[in-house]
């Protein structure tokens, strides 16, 4: 069962975005917050990559940003402790993975059960799992000769691309598409889909019962 307190539901959720790469989904979520499409706000950005553009975007928007790499912590429980302390400090309601390539440790998935989202650049369960990230996904879609691909927002557990699907958006594969063209088009659809999914959560419309997602 999803537990987000009533005050957060009334005010909008505090979001922590985890990103490793170019940060375009982070920017789209910040923009959706500024323009009132969502009431939730990104209040914390964490990246395992010190060169991630997500950290730069956070700083430009005066959002606290941390470079936190599991590699720099031993034992791993020290990483979990540090991350959990940040989540507590910034009163995080929802964790948003946006191009974050690391598995989330059980200490975090347990504490934030049903409150961690990821976006994947395909229509899961197709083209998901280990190795299915970045351009690999779009290459595999084109190779399969499918006419439809898209993006999926799903809940996160300890297995790659495994959690319950919240929302999907279809994108047509066009004749002459290259993996790069397809990637760009899917990414544009992700920028709309992620705020839509966050809006469902902040409106308290998402109920998770067993292995089912119900929209109130
Ligand atoms: C997106 O394609 C997303 O689906 C995947 O990683 C990419 C992140 O892109 N999980 P960006 O860093 O948000 O630009």
* CATH code of 123's domain: 3.40.50.170
Nearest partner of 213 among 171, 167, 173, 151, judged by Cα: 167
Q: What is the DSSP string of the chain?
A: -----HHHHHH--EEEEE-SS--HHHHHHHHHHHTTS-S-EEEEEEES-TT-HHHHHHHHTT--EEE--GGG-SSHHHHHHHHHHHHHHTT-SEEEESS--SPPPHHHHHHTTT-EEEEESS-TTTT-STT--THHHHHHHHHHT-SEEEEEEEE--SSTT-SPEEEEEEEEPPTT--HHHHHHHHHHHHHHHHHHHHHHHHTT-EEEETTEEEE-
What's the pLDDT tens digit per position in 4-41?
A: 777 777 789 999 999 999 999 999 999 999 999 999 99
Question: Residue 45 pLDDT > 90, yes or no?
Answer: yes
CA of 7 relative to ligand 1 center, distance in Å:
30
Global pTM value: 0.95
Q: How many CB atoms lie within 10 A of CB 104?
A: 19
Residue among 17, 21, 130, 156 to mutate when testing ligand 1 (max atoms within 8 A of CB) = 21
* Structural domain total, the chain: 1
Q: Are strands 94-97 and 14-18 parallel, antiparallel or unpaired?
A: parallel
191 is catalytic: no
24 CA closest ligand 1 atom index: 14
Domain membership of residue 1 (yes or no) is no
More confident residue, 162 or 65: 65
**Owning domain of residue 165:** 6-215
- Ligand 1-lining residues (CB < 6 angstroms): 19, 21-25, 98-99, 119-121, 187, 190
Q: What is the DSSP string of 166-193?
A: EEEEEEEPPTT--HHHHHHHHHHHHHHH
Percent of the chain whose predicted confidence (pLDDT) is above 70: 99
Question: Residue 1 pLDDT > 60, yes or no?
Answer: no
The whole-chain average pLDDT of the chain stands at 95
When pLDDT is cut at 50, 70 and 90, the band that residue 2 belongs to is low
Percent of the chain whose predicted confidence (pLDDT) is above 90: 87
What's the pLDDT tens digit per position in 147-203?
A: 999 999 999 988 878 899 999 999 999 999 999 999 999 999 999 999 999 999 999
CA pair distance 69, 141, nearest whole angstrom: 31
Q: How far is CA 6 from CA 2, 11, 99, 149, in A?
A: 12, 9, 30, 37
183 CA closest ligand 1 atom index: 2
Q: Write the residue with the smallest CA distance to atom 10 of ligand 1.
A: 99
């Amino acid at each position: 069962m999803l537990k987000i307190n009533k005050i957060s539901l009334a005010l909008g959720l505090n979001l922590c975005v985890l990103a490793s790469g170019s940060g375009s989904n982070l920017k789209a979520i910040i923009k959706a917050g500024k323009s009132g499409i969502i009431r939730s706000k990104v209040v914390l950005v964490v990246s395992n990559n010190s060169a991630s553009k997500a950290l730069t975007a956070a700083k430009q928007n005066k959002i606290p940003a941390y470079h936190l790499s599991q590699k720099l912590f031993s034992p791993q429980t020290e990483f979990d402790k540090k991350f959990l302390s940040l989540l507590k400090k910034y009163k995080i309601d929802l964790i948003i993975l946006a191009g974050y390539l690391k598995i989330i440790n059980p200490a975090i998935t347990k504490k934030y059960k049903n409150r961690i989202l990821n976006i994947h650049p395909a229509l899961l369960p197709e083209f998901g799992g280990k190795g299915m990230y970045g351009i690999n996904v779009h290459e595999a879609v084109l190779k399969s000769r499918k006419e439809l691909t898209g993006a999926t927002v799903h809940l996160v557990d300890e297995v790659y691309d495994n959690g319950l699907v919240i929302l999907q958006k279809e994108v047509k594969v066009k004749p002459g598409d290259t993996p790069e063209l397809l990637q760009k088009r899917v990414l544009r659809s992700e920028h709309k889909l992620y705020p839509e999914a966050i809006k469902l959560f902040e409106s308290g419309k998402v109920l998770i019962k067993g292995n089912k997602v119900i929209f109130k």
